[in-house]
Structures are given as C-alpha cells and as structure tokens.
Amino acid sequence: MKNKIEISAPGKLMLFGEHAVVYGGPCIVTAVNQRMRVVVETTKDREIELKAPEVGLKHFKDSVSASLDRLPKGARFVFSAVKNFNGRFELLSGLRIRTNSDFSNEFGFGSSSSVTVCVAKALSAIFDVDLDNKELFDICYKSVLDVQGVGSGFDIAAAVWGGTLYFVGGGKKIAQVSKKELPLVVGYTGIKADTATLVKEVAFLKKSKPRIVSSIFRTIDFIVGDARRLIVNGNFKRLGELANINQGLLDSLGVNTTKLSNLIIAAKDAGAYGAKLSGAGGGDCMIAFVPERKRKFVEKAIEKAGGKVISVKNGAEGVRIEK
C-alpha cells in the first residue's frame, strides 16, 4: 500500500454522435492533452479532505458516508468515486485529495469525468487493487450516474482509454479508432453550457415527436459509422462533410445557438472542410476539420466571429500515474 500518489487524466472533445449516444447509439470522442491532475494521500481519520480550487473548494471535509446531495456541487464527483470504490473494495483510511486542472471547467472538456477517473485510479493504486480499464470505467460511470442521473459515459471512456474512441452508449462497445492527431481547430463560445438541462430538453422533444427524433438519431448513428471509417482512412475532407450534416441534425434537435452558428460558419467560410458543435450544445465549444494550409485562416476567422481558439492536441494518452 502506498500513502501518496499523483494521477492525471485527459479532458475530451466529442467529435460525432452527441445526444444520440444517450439513447444507446455510437459516438466518436477524442481525448485532449489538457489534463486533470489529482494528488491523493491517505490520512489517519475516516474523513475525506478535499482541496479543489477550480470549483471553489479551498478546504472541504466530510465523511465518506455523507449523502451526495448534501455536498457542495464541486465535491460530488470526488465523493461519489470514493463511495463506489469503497462499495467494492474496502477503504482502509481517510483521504486528502487535491485537484488541479490544466483547463477551465467552463470549456466542457469534462473536468467532472476526468476527476472521477483520477480518484478511482488513485485508490486502486494506493490500495493495490488490480482494475482493468473496463472495471475502472464501470466504477466511474456509476459514480457519474449517481451524481447527475444522465449521461452516456463517453467522457469517462475518453479519460480512461485516451486516443480517439468509438463508444456505444453506456459502454456497450469501446474501441480505439486512432491514436493519431486529427486536423482539428477548437473554438470556445465563451458560454458555459449545462449538459443535464440540454439532455432533458432533447428528451422532451423526443417524447413529443418520437418518430421524427428517433429517425434523426438513426441518421446520426449512420454518420458515426461512416466517420469511424473516414478517420481510419484519413479522409478529412469527407469527414468535414459529415460534420456539416451532423451539425444540421443537432440544429434540428434545438441545441444549436447563434454564437455556435457564427463560429461554425466563419470556420467554413475560411476554408475548413466542415464544422459542428461539440458536446451538448447551448454553448461550450465548436470544432472544425481543417486542411493544414488553412489552419491559421480558420483560427483567425473564429476569433473575428467572437470565439476563443483553444490550443489543444487530440488523441491524447488516457489516465496515468504521474508519481
């Protein structure tokens, strides 16, 4: 048993298939090289001490059995990961946990899922429990569902495996598509989106127009299947065309915004192969597939349209022990 460990896990960007994946469809997600870093130390009492400045927690302390909805929002994923680990393997001490993120939790890069994965991985390393990636995924996915009730788990998979993944809702299938960097530009709208609300809005639309929304999801599923092949073949021009179609379908689900549209149109006018929102919609980020010779023009156009270009590499390594 160790008594201190540092773990890091990547953030993620959804490439294709958002929303449909919540209903059991496939999606494609890539891990980014901006990482969440978590240090976990054992302590003598049975409490969890948490220092998570990016979510406003300077020094929070409670027992491992504290009920999740009584905790501050920023502490719930950490406590939930500890609880679910403890539910399977007994925790033998208290914990001091410090989080530190390379990226702002505003971007929608998945700070909650990355932190959950770091904590569960740290506990398995500290208490010498051999977990394979799927077991780690299952503990963390349950933790996310316990906290937010909804979610496909794609963000947990990206944090665990890294690379660019083909992921089927709930983790029914998780396969590496590519470990190579894809030619992407990422633009942030400056608006933080609330994923749970957007997922609920789409659920409401699906309830009121079941046949129409189901057929939109089915088309998105086809797009994901084709996108997977195009990524393997490195055909980014055709991948861009699929991004444009996927964007149109997301717009029809009501999750697009004027700001996202402005950045997407600016990117396409500047020479991107194609562009779409990434994630739940309502704000956060857009992505554009670009020919390298047009990258600078696309970045400038996104900034001119009021977006902030986020410099990240994709296909990054999954969770790892730092020291």
Which residues lie near ligand MEV (CB under 6 A)?
14, 18-19, 21-22, 151-152, 154, 195, 199, 279-280
**Catalytic residue, candidates 138, 155, 221, 284:** 155
Phi, psi of 169 (to 5 degrees): -35, 130
Residue closer to ligand MEV, measured from CB, 168 or 288: 168
The Cα–Cα gap between 15 and 279 comes to 8
The Cα–Cα gap between 35 and 51 comes to 17
Q: How far is CA 164 from CA 59, 82, 90, 317, in A?
A: 36, 27, 34, 10
Least distance from ligand MEV to the Cβ atom of residue 147, Å: 12
Residue closer to ligand MEV, measured from CB, 60 or 217: 217
CB-based contacts of 78, cutoff 8 Å, min separation 6: 48, 50, 52, 97, 99, 115, 116, 119
Least distance from ligand MEV to the Cβ atom of residue 157, Å: 10
CB-based contacts of 72, cutoff 8 Å, min separation 6: 55, 56, 57, 60
Least distance from ligand MEV to the Cβ atom of residue 71, Å: 21
The Cα–Cα gap between 229 and 301 comes to 29
Least distance from ligand MEV to the Cβ atom of residue 241, Å: 22
| HSE of 244, CA atoms in CB hemisphere, 13 A | 14
The Cα–Cα gap between 255 and 277 comes to 9
- Please indicate whether residue 155 is annotated as part of the active site: yes
Least distance from ligand MEV to the Cβ atom of residue 63, Å: 30
Residue closer to ligand MEV, measured from CB, 97 or 198: 198
92 neighbors 3 (Cβ within 8 angstroms): no
3-state secondary structure 195-213: HHHHHHHHHHHHHHCHHHH
Residue closer to ligand MEV, measured from CB, 82 or 157: 157
Q: How many helices (H) and strands (E) does the chain have?
A: 9, 12
Angle of helix 236-252 relative to helix 258-269, nearest 10 degrees, comes to 160
In the block, tokens 């540092």 appear at 6
Least distance from ligand MEV to the Cβ atom of residue 227, Å: 15
Least distance from ligand MEV to the Cβ atom of residue 315, Å: 18
Residue closer to ligand MEV, measured from CB, 40 or 136: 136
Phi, psi of 275 (to 5 degrees): -155, 155
Opening angle at CA 99, ends 94 and 105, nearest 5: 140
Residue closer to ligand MEV, measured from CB, 10 or 95: 10
Residue closer to ligand MEV, measured from CB, 113 or 262: 113
Catalytic residue numbers?
Answer: 155
